[in-house]
Amino acid sequence: MSGATERYCLALDLVAEPDKIAEYQRLHQRIWPEVADHLRQYGIVNMEIYRLGTRLFMLMEVNDRFNAQDFAQASEQNPHIQRWEALMWQFQQPTPWTPAGEKWVAMARIFSLQDQ
pLDDT tens profile 17-47: 999 999 999 999 999 999 999 999 999 999 9
What's the gap between Cα 112 and its chain centre? 22
Identify the CA nearest to 13 among candidates 85, 91, 84. Answer: 91
pLDDT tens profile 48-59: 999 999 999 999
Buried b (16+ CB within 10 A) or exposed e, 83-96: ebeeebeebbebbe
Q: Which residues contact 111 (CB under 8 A, 6 or more apart)?
A: none
Q: Name the DSSP letter for residue 89.
A: H
| Residue 36 contacts residue 58 (beta carbons within 8 Å) | no
| Residue 59 contacts residue 9 (beta carbons within 8 Å) | yes
What's the gap between Cα 88 and its chain centre? 11
> What pTM was estimated for this model as a whole?
0.91
